[in-house]
Structure 1
Amino acid sequence: MPADEYDVIVIGAGPVGENVADRAHATGLSAVVVESELVGGDCSYWACIPSKALLRPVSALADARRVAGAAQAVDGGLNAEAVLARRTSFVSDWQDDGQAAWLDSVAVDLVRGHGRLDGPRRVVVETPDGSSRTLTARHAVAVCTGSRAALPDLPGIVEARPWTSREATSSKEVPRRLAVVGGGAVGVEMATVWQALGAEVTVLVRGDRLLPRMEPFAGELVAGALTEAGASVRTGISVESLERPSPDRPVTLTLSDGGRLEADEVLFATGRAPRTDDIGLETVGCEPGNWLTVDDSCRVKGVHGGWLYAVGDANGRALLTHQGKYQARIAGSAIGARAAGVPLLETDRWGAHAATADHDAVPQVVFTDPEATSVGLTAAEAEDRGLRVRVVDQDMGEVAGAALYADGYRGRARMVVDLDREVIVGLTFVGPGVSELLHSASIAVAGEVPMDRLWHAVPSFPSVSEVWLRLLEGYRG
């Protein structure tokens, strides 16, 4: 086989691209990954890993303060320098040698540079030394280019030099005053971190609550905790313009209520946009800059020959790293099967080559204090789908294991049950430590476990997981 011909070409070496290449290679195909930045992508260096490294000391300290006896041993706040140093160690000081070595260990080639499609199954790479290299795929090209922060078109925003999620997770200094624009996962997580590290934080939300894609009580509990910690949370407020006279001066935000807010840094956490605008999509009949529409095997619709795939954030189905990796496992296996001439059951729910969880069982954790987690549908989403549902709520503080976990434990759980099929279609947990409850919830939803069978799944006493028993008791009446 010619040196620059492979069975599969993957554009983007984040966790999604790595998994597509690895799974395709596991089926016996040769694979190459093209990357213009760091192997490991945003998740490893500017998102999931650094944000959780920053958040863990916050929750650890909060947990200690919630338990009598341990609380008396806490005599100070977080050491910002140590927290930031720990974050930097987890991102390997923004060096990707280890992840590049992993690709080599699984026999996947790496080409550094900016890759662009150049017609069917061809990718031209502009390498760092200024030369170009043309790669040809025998079977498939997978677009795994991810997404980037979407900034609104506001007067003065360029001169204001705002933070995005990248700057918020990689800053080496704590700003004295930080304005956070946006109330989604990135906004509330970064507000939690920088408030705990000593910044004066103001959260500005256009809508009426935080975490709008979760059950309403999730945003209410997180907003209450942020306020108790000293942050200011303002809803129904949008930014009209920004002014920053020079890079070393504060930024002034003009707000929709006529007020003004001065901050040393401003973080815009107002959504994501696909990185599909400069990868040659126009050469294969696709519109650049858009999310790519795919089937459940992540194959791009409308491309002649069915050789193009879009996996992870590039397809816009579920902008979460773990969900993108799930899609990558599906897509890599589908590419291998098609290359071998094996028929696929793409349209079968929960089939080996169908990313069904994207529609019905997407899990998410927001690592604030308290944590907010969910999988499946909210009550409102279930009703919008026309399902006949029953909602069961539970105060988690009334669960013995939760009371032992933290004095004065505050949290809430909600279970949404499809009454016609007698299965759970959505679960939400909010409270300290609830992220470890989420996978059991994901299994219940994805497995469509009958309610009568769940009654026989016995939670250990006294653990926080006993909330499952309380929810089931509430359903049975």
Structure 2
Amino acid sequence: MTTENIRTYDVIVIGAGPVGENVAERTVAAGLSTVVVESELVGGDCSYWACEPSKALLRPVLFRADAAHVPGLDPAVEGPLNVEAVLAHRDHMSGDWKDDGQVEWLKSAGIELLRGHGRLVGEREVSVKTSDGEPVHLRARHAVALCTGSRAALPGLHGIEELRPWTSREATSARKPPGRLVIVGAGVVGVEMATAWQALGSQVTLLARQGGLLPRMEPFAGEMVTERLREAGADVRFGVSVTAAERTDGGELRVTLSNGARLAADEILFAIGRAPRSEDIGLAAVGLAAGDWLTTDDSLTVTAVPGNWLYAVGDVNHRALYTHQGKYQARIAGAVIAARARGEGLDTSRWGPHRSTADTEAVPGVVFTDPEVASVGLTVREAERTGLAIDVIDQEIGELAGALQYRPDYRGTARLVIDRDRRTVVGATFVGPGVAELLYSATVAITGEVPVDRLWHAVPAFPTISEVWLRLLEKGARR
């Protein structure tokens, strides 16, 4: 290899999604030369096949559901959605699957981009097969950050390749609604895509192996989403899985379920979980197993590799599979890399700048269904599993004046999980139209460990849905 094909930087980042971009932004801001290696589109799954396109599909659905129940607006929103306009907006929000703007941002931030597939080949060394086929060898003075994310997991179903199944990528980028769509999976992707495509004209059948939707959340969340999906016309079935499927010469899918039932469909979406994108990034060169999730400590340093030079940030470390949590980790990792490059010690106190604490104590998440679901911290089940003594406070959101202004038939529930001994909130769940905007206040309450008695003095404006906090605290004060 010629010397011009060997390049040295302070930091090498593999993966230019939101996580890799944020790591690079932090290290460049700290004065460290940084290169980002990306084999696909700069901006990652979130920009093109996940967060942005899925919310562009869902927003019209949710807005129409709200408007259809507001006096004076309801006649104006009758009839089907303009599918062509919704999909055009989805395309716009995804940058028409072009990354020119993202690339320009990298340049403006002083971050160098190398397009190609990067693999570890030794300590602080990465080999890149560039998009033009020319190999480039990279060396890092200080750190390599693996920000390769995750991909949709597929079941070990016989002949699955011939099915041409959808994953979250196809579900968010499809050019038209399928006539009949079978969705396998009860989690966030499954219920969001069921909500979107049912409203856009597909006949959706949602299959859940468990006894309810959104099994990791409070049970009432899944129950309310199930009820609304069925009201919208979706066929929601519990306690079943797919045992066999085939695509006919004519393109139709024939699906056999574990209870013996058979379905005919045009497309099938598997939304059964995520797998790490780590199978082809050279992990064996540093003593790790290809295809595994990468275990890190709270500084995002890969624990099985000595020398404190290899980091795994975002989905690939399996700590918290959300874009916002990955970006949070990126801020921590960037600070850690900069501190070590300067020869400084790390502040790994519980909420210190070099410790990724929020991955375990206060992970917020929103499910953009009708109704919305927003949660952070512990559920009742999780709190009881840890042996925590808790008080559980529930409040019907539809009893609030602010909620009735939102829509007269508002239906929703809020729950706080309170540590009985410390008198602080350790978990919160909100279900109902517009509740996503309640989540940050709950996240602050949990991470700040704000005593319930102090929260009593945080006065919500009237008439808003945030007044639910006052009603919850009133009930809590009587415990």
Whether 1:150 aligns to 2:115 is no
Whether 1:274 aligns to 2:298 is no
Structure 2 counterpart of 1:437, which letter? Answer: L
Q: Which residue of 2 aligns with 1:26?
A: 29
Provide the rounded CA distance (Å) in 2 between the counterparts of 1:63 and 1:156.
43
Tell me which of 296, 299, 307 is aligned to 1:297: 299
Tell me which of 61, 76, 80 is aligned to 1:77: 80
Q: Which residue of 1 aligns with 2:178?
A: 175
Whether 1:202 aligns to 2:193 is no
Q: Which residue of 2 aligns with 1:47?
A: 50
Structure 2 counterpart of 1:467, which letter? Answer: V
Provide the rounded CA distance (Å) in 2 between the counterparts of 1:376 and 1:29.
35
Structure 2 counterpart of 1:466, which letter? Answer: E
Provide the rounded CA distance (Å) in 2 between the counterparts of 1:88 and 1:170.
8
Provide the rounded CA distance (Å) in 1 between the counterparts of 2:256 and 2:423.
51
Q: Which residue of 2 aligns with 1:257?
A: 259
Q: Which residue of 1 aligns with 2:455?
A: 454
Alignment of 1:337-356 (within 5 A): 337-346=339-348, 348-356=349-357
Provide the rounded CA distance (Å) in 1 between the counterparts of 2:114 and 2:76.
52
Q: Which residue of 2 aligns with 1:165?
A: 168
Structure 2 counterpart of 1:338, which letter? Answer: R
Shift of 1:244: 0.6
Provide the rounded CA distance (Å) in 2 between the counterparts of 1:227 and 1:332.
46
Whether 1:438 aligns to 2:436 is no
Alignment of 1:376-455 (within 5 A): 376-455=377-456
Provide the rounded CA distance (Å) in 1 between the counterparts of 2:33 and 2:77.
54
Asked whether the 8 Å contact 1:390–1:417 carries over to 2, the reply is: yes
Query: How many residues in Structure 1 have an aligned counterpart in Structure 2?
Result: 475
Provide the rounded CA distance (Å) in 2 between the counterparts of 1:119 and 1:293.
19
Shift of 1:260: 0.5
Shift of 1:263: 0.6
Whether 1:285 aligns to 2:290 is no
Q: Secondary structure at the match of 1:29?
A: coil
Residue deviations 1:339-384, cap 9 Å, x none? 11111122x2111111101001000000001100100010110111
Asked whether the 8 Å contact 2:23–2:333 carries over to 1, the reply is: yes
Shift of 1:302: 2.1
Whether 1:140 aligns to 2:115 is no
Q: Secondary structure at the match of 1:113?
A: strand
Structure 1 counterpart of 2:325, which letter? Answer: Q
Structure 2 counterpart of 1:137, which letter? Answer: A
Asked whether the 8 Å contact 1:178–1:200 carries over to 2, the reply is: yes
Provide the rounded CA distance (Å) in 2 between the counterparts of 1:409 and 1:370.
10
Shift of 1:181: 0.3
Whether 1:87 aligns to 2:90 is yes
Provide the rounded CA distance (Å) in 2 between the counterparts of 1:262 and 1:350.
52
Shift of 1:72: 2.3
Residue deviations 1:105-126, cap 9 Å, x none? 0000000000000100000000
The answer to which of 165-174 and 396-405 deviates more is 396-405
Asked whether the 8 Å contact 1:396–1:410 carries over to 2, the reply is: yes
Provide the rounded CA distance (Å) in 1 between the counterparts of 2:27 and 2:412.
42
Asked whether the 8 Å contact 2:68–2:78 carries over to 1, the reply is: no
Shift of 1:129: 1.5
Structure 2 counterpart of 1:461, which letter? Answer: F
Q: Runs of 4+ in structure 1 displaced over 4 angstroms?
A: none
Q: Secondary structure at the match of 2:81?
A: coil
Q: Which residue of 2 aligns with 1:476?
A: 477
Q: Secondary structure at the match of 1:242?
A: strand
Q: Which residue of 2 aligns with 1:359?
A: 360
Asked whether the 8 Å contact 1:177–1:201 carries over to 2, the reply is: yes
Tell me which of 311, 315, 326 is aligned to 2:313: 311
Shift of 1:75: 3.2
Shift of 1:245: 2.1
Asked whether the 8 Å contact 1:157–1:241 carries over to 2, the reply is: no
Provide the rounded CA distance (Å) in 1 between the counterparts of 2:299 and 2:118.
23
Residue deviations 1:241-277, cap 9 Å, x none? 111123x511111000001011100000000000001
Shift of 1:330: 0.4
Whether 1:232 aligns to 2:235 is yes
Provide the rounded CA distance (Å) in 1 between the counterparts of 2:430 and 2:417.
12
CA RMSD of aligned residues (A): 1.1
Asked whether the 8 Å contact 2:208–2:237 carries over to 1, the reply is: yes
Q: Which residue of 1 aligns with 2:12?
A: 9
Tell me which of 319, 322, 327 is aligned to 1:320: 322
Provide the rounded CA distance (Å) in 2 between the counterparts of 1:22 and 1:432.
36
Residue deviations 1:106-162, cap 9 Å, x none? 000000000000100000000111110001000000000000000000123211111
Shift of 1:74: 2.1
Alignment of 1:57-68 (within 5 A): 57-68=60-71
Structure 2 counterpart of 1:323, which letter? Answer: Q
Q: Which residue of 1 aligns with 2:131?
A: 128
Shift of 1:288: 1.2
Residue deviations 1:25-63, cap 9 Å, x none? 111111100000000000000000000011011011111
Structure 2 counterpart of 1:130, which letter? Answer: G
Asked whether the 8 Å contact 2:184–2:207 carries over to 1, the reply is: yes
Q: Which residue of 1 aligns with 2:338?
A: 336
TM-score scaled by structure 2?
Answer: 0.98
Asked whether the 8 Å contact 2:13–2:146 carries over to 1, the reply is: yes
Q: Which residue of 1 aligns with 2:223?
A: 220
Provide the rounded CA distance (Å) in 1 between the counterparts of 2:208 and 2:300.
34
Provide the rounded CA distance (Å) in 2 between the counterparts of 1:272 and 1:12.
17
Provide the rounded CA distance (Å) in 2 between the counterparts of 1:75 and 1:20.
46
Provide the rounded CA distance (Å) in 2 between the counterparts of 1:73 and 1:97.
38
TM-score scaled by structure 1?
Answer: 0.98
Asked whether the 8 Å contact 1:156–1:244 carries over to 2, the reply is: no
Provide the rounded CA distance (Å) in 2 between the counterparts of 1:383 and 1:354.
26
Provide the rounded CA distance (Å) in 2 between the counterparts of 1:156 and 1:203.
21
Asked whether the 8 Å contact 2:392–2:415 carries over to 1, the reply is: yes
Which structure 1 segments of 5+ residues have no match? none
Q: Which residue of 1 aligns with 2:468?
A: 467
Asked whether the 8 Å contact 1:6–1:31 carries over to 2, the reply is: yes
